[in-house]
Structure 1
């Protein structure tokens, strides 16, 4: 059975979920408090992205089922049991494929989060967990597999494959703005045209003579991203955005929305971020990028992160500006995105006198 399979929750799990945020046991319930419980639960659901919450739910379901198949229970947290679970993920006893170290680490984070929602604490530093995880990392850790960066000549070739109908104008704006802004998929589709315009907005765009200012409520908190105008209308992200907004007649609400089947009219529904992943893969194939590789390998090379990696790898400016633009907390994180950079520019060997 695959690790992504969703398992039905047991009655015990559902009861634990219901009790995660509730009126204190010593306080008499009331209509007002019950409404506040629902409000608090709604806020709790927004404490992480929907994709993260779905992954954490799958992590808990998998661990719960694994525990019960072995005659035990996932509650309360047992460091000894979780240490055995991690070992089984790295070296499955049923012949299934072993998980990567990063996935195992994420599973552990998912379990910690789920226990916290139930008012319980999982001590990740307990020797039964920490030493097993350290051994797994030492034995199985590999350099991260990174998606290939989309370079300037790539993005130009990709947008050239798009038609100039309404849908093509939208997709051209998505690719160019995502590239120039170094944006995540979720950041692109969550943009609105005006501040605080819709409840599901995670940011907004303001247009100026010199460019566009994006205010984003992103993974690392609020940040501003300045996207200046390009050297020509053909490749300018701000011009592409203006063209889409004009012909789609969008002056409020979500910027990137679905269109009718004939592509002649913009609808009100916000695009899902999966559209961007599909768009990147389609235009990569249509543009003929990396023709020396089989199609399956070409598709596997690129994802939404290829846009961020492309900007980080291609922008010929001080690294600090790239770090700020991408919203990274450290220069080291920015360097992970730089697939192509000026290595050995600082020669410490000669500076040390050798």
Structure 2
């Protein structure tokens, strides 16, 4: 195996390119992807603490820096970026309409969400979905709170308009396609086992599927406990499987990933192989492969790379060949791995619910794409 790795590493040549849905997961795109903390949007986020330039007694400056770090940790980087983008969208609309966005005015916000629903808030005249409007409203509310000027969302100019938007425009959610076991096996066959990138991508797909993990949980894993500040969990390799400890919105949870029936599809073997040949001993588990595929860097993968990997492998494997390439790319995402486990695991539903970390069985059922909806027949049970 080592000889295969070395031989392919010498001959493997890749061109670095800007990130796109067709980019291989982990290609050297870090240079063109600013992080949430360094982007203009991330820098514009308000804080309830004094700005770094505000004069503080010398003995409190370090404490203030630590407090700002805790403020950042109160929400994920993706949430902060989304909220900053939504706030920018709202304030830009206010400016174009000749309206002031400060202090908060429920009537102005009500007009804004009306414009979003009707398509008048953007140049392409495309109406926003109800989900997008609700997220924008949450972002606006959060930004006002951080500025010390709370917005009253229960005001009739907002609450009544939003209720009308929901009643008029609400539609069933568009679910991503589930990656089923036969799909996953075909996707694994498209990956080159003789390269570091191929070994890493196999491990990510198998761990993501078998653990029912979110894409942020996959890339947030460390090799062991308390190794990085930005880690969202860690792994422990045991005789019977892989124990994954994760930090979620509601606290810590453990996910058990058992060994597979064969080495070719075993997530534990895939992780062990990646660790061995990538020589990853400490820090982020899944990292960028750099230097044209010959070396593994120290940087953690961005969670968008998981979505790109799933899309690319699904397309290469020819899954849902009845659809166009564009439609297939739209159907698959990192979420497809979670949906695949929920749909294919032939066990009691409560075990699937625990694995996915859902608070209710109803949420788990939303992930199940091919469950027998009529297994319990109340019509016959009632005597008809």
Corresponding position: 1:176 with 2:206 = yes
Q: 2:103 aligns with which of 66, 73, 76?
A: 76
Which of 221, 224, 228 is the matching residue for 2:258?
228
Q: Give the unaligned 5+ runs of structure 2.
A: 1-38
Is residue 21 from structure 1 mapped to residue 37 from structure 2 by the alignment? no
The one-character-per-residue Cα deviations of 1:121-157 (angstroms, maximum 9, x if unpaired) are 2222221111101100110111011110000000010
Q: Indicate whether 1:42 and 2:72 are aligned.
A: no
Uncovered stretches (5+) of structure 1, i.e. residues with no partner = 1-6
Does 2:141 correspond to 1:119? no
Q: After superposition, what is the alpha-carbon deviation per residue over 1:294-316, rounded to whole angstroms, capped at 9, x for unaligned?
A: 11111111000000010111111
- Aligned equivalent of 1:85, options 103, 112, 126: 112
Please name the residue that 1:3 is paired with. none
Pairing partner for 2:303 from 273, 276, 291: 273
Equivalent pair of 1:220/1:327 in contact (CA under 8 Å): no
Q: Indicate if the aligned counterparts of 2:343 and 2:367 stay in contact, CA closer than 8 A.
A: yes
Deviation at residue 193 of structure 1 after TM alignment? 0.8
2:116/2:128 contact within 8 Å kept: yes
1:203-222 deviation line (CA, Å, top 9, x unaligned): 10001000000001124421
Matched, 1:259 2:289: yes
Q: Tell me how far 1:201 sits from its aligned partner.
A: 1.1
| 2:268 is equivalent to residue 238 of structure 1 | yes
Q: Which of 336, 345, 354 is 2:375 aligned to?
A: 345
Shift in Å at residue 75 of structure 1? 1.6
Match of 2:80 among 29, 33, 53: 53
* Cα deviation, residue 162, structure 1: 0.8
Q: TM-score, normalised by structure 1?
A: 0.91
- What is the match of residue 31 of structure 1? 58
Distance in structure 2 (CA, Å) of the matches to 1:283 and 1:96: 34
Range that drifts further, 40-49 or 151-160: 40-49
TM norm structure 2: 0.84
Q: Deviations over 1:247-300 (max 9, x none)?
A: 111221111112233433322221121221111111111111111211111111
CA distance in 2, matches of 1:290, 1:120: 50
Structure-2 residue corresponding to 1:215: 245
Maintained 8 Å contact 1:8/1:61: no
User: In the alignment, what sits opposite 1:166?
Assistant: 196
Contact 2:46–2:143 at 8 Å: present in 1 too? Answer: no
Matched, 1:144 2:199: no
* Greater Cα offset, 119-128 or 169-178: 119-128
Superposed CA deviations along residues 35-92 of structure 1, whole A, max 9, x for unmatched, are 3222222211121111111010011111112112222221222111111111110013
User: For residues 41 and 292 of structure 1, what CA distance do their matches in structure 2 show?
Assistant: 51
How far apart in 1 are the matches of 2:292 and 2:113?
50
Moved over 6 A (4+): none
